[in-house]
Amino acid sequence: MNTLKNLILSNEDENLFCEVKAYKKKLSSGKKDTPIWERKWLTIEEAAVYSGIGRGKLRELANKAGCPFAIWMGNKIHIVREKLDKYTESHDRV
């Protein structure tokens, strides 16, 4: 208990506060710091850059019923990166 009290009264708590604040800022920026190949969800534009498949072709595939890698949320298409990888690995031509 005494150690905890000393920690709170020292400058270390100010350093800890700064670290927590920096981490919170990093979490809120999220998408910009995470490389495309580590993201779970991709936009059509990100998926096109990542996979080399054109945006139009990705939209066409996503509009087909039963597309394994596309999820519609409202009027937005989200691409599940891992499922897109599996899809491209299992098809010779897209």
- Give CA–CA dist 14/62, Å, rounded: 49
Confidence band for 68, pLDDT divided at 50, 70 and 90: very high
What's the pLDDT score for residue 14?
72
Half-sphere exposure of residue 15: CA atoms within 13 angstroms, side-chain side: 5
Identity at 57, one-letter amino acid code: K
Could you tell me the pTM of the whole model?
0.62
Give the pLDDT score at 19. 76
Q: What is the chain's mean pLDDT, rounded? A: 82
CATH number at 36-90: 3.90.105.50
Q: What is the phi/psi pair of residue 35, to 5°?
A: -60, 155
- The side-by-side arrangement of strands in the sheet containing 70-73 is 41-42, 76-80, 70-73
Token couple for 40: 């779970």
